[in-house]
């Protein structure tokens, strides 16, 4: 019997870290759905039409290291507003979600659009300033030349696009548990997530 955990939230809120830890804790499969859009964005940057890229996506496309680059992240945010791209990726995500043994999916619209019937839903967030600082540190550790001001502007621009797009805007599901990681250590955030999911499993 499947058990689906939907974890949504804005960029750099910590949902990826929490999702991986939750999946490991429960022994579930994990899908970072943002990688689907990053893969489509990368293909768009390489000259492929976004809709064609989405329709032809294969699991191997999610394994490239370049998917974590800032340029691909921007491209992903842009292709994610295209209704035909989102539609092409829905089946991929829903099939993964209902696999036997349980699944954790993290993204922007898992609990609201992709898996509204998920047994457990979390919405992981943090202030834009905290998220920008995290992303800035991550980028500088990788040797990327940028400023905190540029990263903050990028975070706010992505939030604006994600929350105001016509198709599947970023918002918490009505029954999602909110976890604000602004002042939490990773271990605390993961513990809150696991506790919330355990409560749903006990229902």
Average pLDDT over residues 172-181: 97
Q: Is 112 annotated as a binding residue?
A: no
**What is the predicted pLDDT for the residue at 26?**
96
CB of 9 closer than 8 Å to CB of 121: no
- Tell me, yes or no, whether 35 lies in a domain: yes
Residue 125 lies in a domain: yes
- Is 64 a residue whose pLDDT tops 90? no
Does 13 carry a binding-site annotation? yes
31: confidence class by pLDDT, cuts 50, 70, 90: very high
Range of 34's domain? 4-198
Q: Is residue 183 part of a domain?
A: yes
9 marked ligand binding residue? yes
State yes or no: pLDDT of 110 exceeds 80. yes
Is 203 within a domain?
no
- Tell me whether residue 15 is annotated as binding: yes
Q: What is the CATH number of the domain that holds 80?
A: 3.40.50.300
172 is in an annotated binding site: no
Is 143 one of the annotated binding-site residues? no
Is residue 128 very low, low, confident or very high in pLDDT (cuts 50, 70, 90)? very high
Annotated binding-site residue? 17: yes
118 annotated to bind ligand: no
The answer on whether 12 is annotated among ligand-binding residues is yes
Cβ atoms of residues 32 and 73 within 8 Å:
no
Give the model confidence (pLDDT) of 137-175 as tens digits: 999 998 888 999 999 999 999 899 889 988 788 999 999
Question: Does residue 39 belong to any structural domain of this protein?
Answer: yes
Q: How many domains does the chain have?
A: 1
Q: Is 149 within a domain?
A: yes
């Amino acid at each position: 019997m499947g058990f689906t955990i939907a974890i949504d939230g804005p960029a750099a809120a910590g949902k990826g870290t929490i999702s991986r830890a939750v999946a490991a804790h429960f022994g579930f499969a994990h899908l970072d759905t943002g990688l689907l859009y990053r893969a489509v964005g990368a293909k768009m940057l390489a000259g492929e039409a976004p809709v064609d890229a989405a329709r032809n996506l294969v699991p191997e496309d999610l394994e490239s290291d370049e998917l974590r680059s800032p340029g691909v992240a921007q491209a992903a945010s842009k292709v994610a507003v295209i209704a035909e791209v989102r539609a092409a990726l829905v089946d991929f995500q829903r099939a993964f979600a209902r696999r036997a043994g349980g699944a954790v999916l993290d993204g922007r619209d898992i609990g609201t659009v992709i898996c509204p019937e998920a047994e457990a839903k979390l919405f992981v967030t943090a202030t834009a300033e905290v998220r920008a600082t995290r992303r800035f540190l991550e980028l500088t550790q990788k040797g990327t030349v940028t400023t905190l001001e540029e990263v903050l502007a990028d975070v706010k621009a992505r939030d604006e696009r994600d929350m105001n797009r016509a198709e599947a805007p970023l918002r918490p599901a009505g029954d999602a548990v909110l976890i604000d990681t602004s002042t939490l250590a990773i271990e605390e955030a993961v513990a809150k997530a696991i506790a919330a999911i355990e409560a749903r499993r006990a229902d």
